[in-house]
């Protein structure tokens, strides 16, 4: 279709193009696109100099509405496919993550001569996190000897099908193509088959024009005499000409002068649309990437709580107090995590009222424990712009990119955002994450039938007043309460409200006699370890309680 004739009665469908570096993603986008944006096909000078994609590229093509789709209204006659060309280099994984979050469907590009490579696998993981639908594209089949081409393609398809069995993309289509034949006179192979399969797999994505405006800006540039254009994808809500829109990172609000979708003027853009928004009196150099939104809807975040979903391919440990690279939107910053577990909540909000158990390390057994989920409190080293419900992905981007290992660790949606810079004192003390503590000592002697003297339960220098009133349990079965210190040697007095059992009194009497025998030198009746009566004290401490109080139920 003539790019100048792109119809206005079309639905935009975002297709992410992901894969290992040099798998032919940009060549494929170029081969099937009819319209290019200002940021497409490696127009970035550094991309051209280095010969690799460094940033997100956008291009599109349009086809009549596939026959299997029934339009919700008569206005939709065409599907416009927006191709989001993502970098493939390992060091640009954060850019891939941000690009993947706007996908309706994913094309996973695989070099047929090399198969699954490290970044292919990482892109597959990103697809599982961010997307429900995928097509695998076996590219560069023109490099296979023609006599062996069909057999080689069949063999690679079988390998990929086995890999996909462990993912949610089991049974997804695999299409073999050559974005270009390698000959200046040759034609590409299989591209129409790919477009046909893409049309078959196209669906009506959920679009909601009634939500709050959230616009993901991926490029920004000035046009002399017109203003500054922000290009990006509508993540939610809608925007019209003359609406006010806030450039969130700069806290500046501007009025929308005009809008275009792939060179076609439009009056409105809704969730899912790829659009360029022109505003006046704004310096394009101040914004490379970021968000624009309805004024006041996005805030600066200093941390947040998510429900943690572990990525099964990540092998290193995920421990409390460890640090990860946290990607939210276009930003990636370092964050320290605090893990805890609790009962899942079906809502979008986090409930700070229940008690939560401290978790030292995420292990598969913990993650899959029935009726228990793992939460992560993430404290950011640098603030980011975001909101409740937004997806975050945590990675170890400092890992050696040459190792054949997944760097993506976990992901989740923001349940509790910390927009108060002083959240550590304003919110965290309300969060009841507890650690279970345990102390033990031994009964030294009975003072009377309702009290005993205990040693080794606390250290000699400990202030025992903070233990008064806490419950203990004797190994003989009696429940006791700490009355206070006894003398100055670290011993304490335990009160037994229901009194000691007669069997316990008899045991203590025998123990006392044996100690007397020891003192008189009769070692044949020395006290044995199993004769000791142990005293246990179990309590909780809240991680964020500055007073370090001991809590018992």
Nearest residue to 271 via CA among 294, 302, 304: 294
| Residue with more model confidence, 166 or 4 | 166
The pLDDT score that the predictor gives to residue 47 is 37
Whether residue 24 contacts residue 30, with contact meaning beta carbons closer than 8 Å, is answered with no
- R_g of the chain computed on alpha carbons: 32
Note the pLDDT tens digit of each residue in 430-472: 999 999 999 999 999 999 999 999 999 998 888 888 899 999 9
Phi, psi (deg, nearest 5) at residue 247: -85, 100
Please give the share of the chain, as a percent, with pLDDT higher than 90.
53
Give one word for 12, left, alpha or beta, with left for phi > 0 and alpha for psi -120 to 50.
beta
pLDDT in tens, 29-40: 999 998 875 544
Q: What is the pLDDT of residue 75?
A: 75
Mean of the pLDDT values across residues 23-29?
91
CATH superfamily of 3-201: P-loop containing nucleotide triphosphate hydrolases (3.40.50.300)
Residue 73 has pLDDT above 70, yes or no: no
- Mean pLDDT, residues 195-210: 90
* Half-sphere exposure at residue 172, Cβ-oriented, CA atoms within 13 angstroms: 29
For residue 362, what are its two tokens?
A: 């995420």
d(CA 288, CA 276): 14
Mean local confidence (pLDDT), 140-161: 95
How far is Cα 220 from Cα 61, in angstroms, rounded to an integer? 22
What DSSP string describes 213-254? -EEEEEEEEEETTTEEEEEEEEEESEEETT-EEEEGGGTEEE
| 140 vs 330, residue with greater confidence | 140
What letter does residue 156 receive in the DSSP assignment? H
The pTM assigned to this predicted structure is 0.82
Domain extent listing, the chain:
3-201, 214-293, 299-431, 437-540
For residue 155, what are the CA distances in angstroms to 5, 121, 140, 149, 170?
Answer: 42, 19, 15, 10, 17
| SS3 letters across 469-538 | CCEEEECCCCEEEEEEEECCCCEEEEECCCCCCHHHHHHHHHHHHHHHHHHCCCHHHCCCHHHCCEEEEE
Q: What is the pLDDT of residues 291-309, one digit of tens each?
A: 899 998 888 999 999 999 9
Query: pLDDT over 70 for what percent of the chain?
Result: 85
Strands 433-448 and 534-542: antiparallel
The mean of the pLDDT values for the chain is 85
Higher local confidence (pLDDT), 130 or 433:
433
Q: Taking 80 as the threshold, does the pLDDT of residue 368 lie above it?
A: no
> What are the angstrom distances between the C-alpha of 34 and each of 28, 59, 139, 288, 497?
12, 8, 20, 26, 86
What is the helix, strand, coil percentage profile of the chain, to 5?
20, 40, 40
Confidence band of 77 (pLDDT split at 50, 70, 90)? confident
Most confident listed range (63-77, 83-97, 374-388, 515-529):
374-388
pLDDT 10s digits, 222-266? 998 889 999 888 888 999 999 999 988 888 899 999 999 877 899
Which CATH code of 2.40.30.10, 3.90.850.10, 2.40.170.20, 3.40.50.970 fits the domain covering 214-293?
2.40.30.10
What CATH code would you report for 299-431? 2.40.30.10
**Domain 437-540: which CATH number of 2.40.10.190, 2.60.40.10, 3.40.50.300, 2.40.160.40:** 2.40.10.190
Say how far apart CA 349 and CA 355 lie, in whole Å. 16
Q: Do domains 3-201 and 299-431 have the same CATH topology?
A: no
Residues in the chain: 553
Q: pLDDT at position 74, please? A: 64
């Amino acid at each position: 279709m003539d790019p100048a004739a792109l119809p206005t009665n079309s639905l935009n469908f975002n297709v992410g193009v992901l894969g290992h570096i040099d798998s032919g993603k940009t060549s494929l986008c170029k081969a099937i696109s009819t319209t290019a944006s200002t940021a497409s096909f490696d127009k970035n000078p550094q991309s051209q100099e280095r010969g690799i994609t460094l940033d997100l590229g956008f291009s599109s093509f349009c086809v009549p509405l596939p026959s299997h789709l029934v339009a919700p209204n008569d206005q939709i006659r065409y599907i416009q496919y927006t191709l989001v060309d993502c970098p493939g280099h390992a060091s640009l994984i954060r850019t891939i993550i941000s690009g993947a979050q706007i996908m309706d469907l994913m094309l996973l590009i695989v070099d047929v001569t090399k198969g699954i490579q490290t970044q292919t696998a990482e892109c597959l993981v990103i697809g599982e996190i961010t997307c429900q639908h995928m097509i695998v594209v076996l590219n560069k089949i023109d490099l296979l000897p023609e006599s062996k081409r069909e057999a080689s393609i069949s063999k690679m398809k079988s390998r990929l099908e086995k890999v996909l069995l462990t993912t949610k993309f089991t049974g997804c289509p695999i299409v073999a193509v050559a974005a270009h034949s390698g000959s200046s006179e040759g034609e590409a192979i299989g591209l129409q088959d790919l477009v046909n399969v893409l049309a078959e797999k196209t669906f009506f994505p959920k679009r909601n024009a009634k939500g709050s405006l959230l616009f993901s800006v991926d490029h920004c540039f000035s046009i002399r005499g017109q203003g500054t254009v922000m290009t990006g994808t509508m993540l939610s809500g809608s925007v019209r000409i003359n609406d006010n829109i806030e450039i969130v990172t700069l806290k500046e609000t501007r009025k929308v002068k005009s809008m275009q979708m792939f060179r076609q003027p439009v009056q409105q853009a809704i969730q899912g649309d790829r659009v360029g928004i022109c505003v006046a009196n704004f310096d394009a150099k101040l914004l490379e990437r970021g968000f624009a939104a309805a004024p006041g809807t996005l805030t600066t975040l200093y941390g947040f709580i998510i429900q943690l979903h572990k990525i099964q391919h990540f092998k290193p440990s995920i421990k409390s107090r460890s640090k990860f690279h946290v990607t939210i939107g276009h930003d990636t910053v370092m964050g320290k995590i605090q893990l805890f577990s609790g009962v899942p909540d079906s809502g979008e909000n986090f409930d700070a009222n229940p008690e939560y158990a401290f978790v030292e390390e995420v292990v598969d057994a913990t993650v899959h424990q029935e009726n228990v989920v793992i939460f992560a409190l993430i404290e950011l080293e640098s603030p980011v712009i975001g909101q409740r419900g937004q997806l975050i992905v945590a990675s170890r981007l400092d890992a050696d990119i040459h190792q054949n290992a997944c760097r993506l660790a976990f992901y989740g949606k923001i349940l509790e955002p910390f927009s108060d810079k002083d959240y550590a004192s304003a919110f965290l003390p309300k969060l009841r994450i507890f650690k279970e503590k345990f102390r033990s000592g031994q009964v030294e002697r009975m003072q009377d039938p309702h009290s005993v003297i205990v040693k080794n339960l606390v250290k000699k220098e400990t202030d025992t007043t903070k233990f008064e009133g806490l419950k203990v349990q004797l190994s003989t079965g009696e429940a006791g309460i700490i009355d206070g210190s006894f003398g100055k040697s670290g011993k304490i007095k335990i009160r037994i409200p229901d009194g000691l059992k007669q069997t316990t009194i008899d045991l203590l009497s025998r123990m006392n006699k044996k100690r007397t025998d020891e003192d008189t030198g009769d070692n044949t009746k020395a006290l044995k370890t199993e004769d000791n009566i142990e005293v246990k004290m179990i309590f909780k401490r809240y991680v964020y309680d500055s007073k370090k109080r001991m809590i018992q139920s």
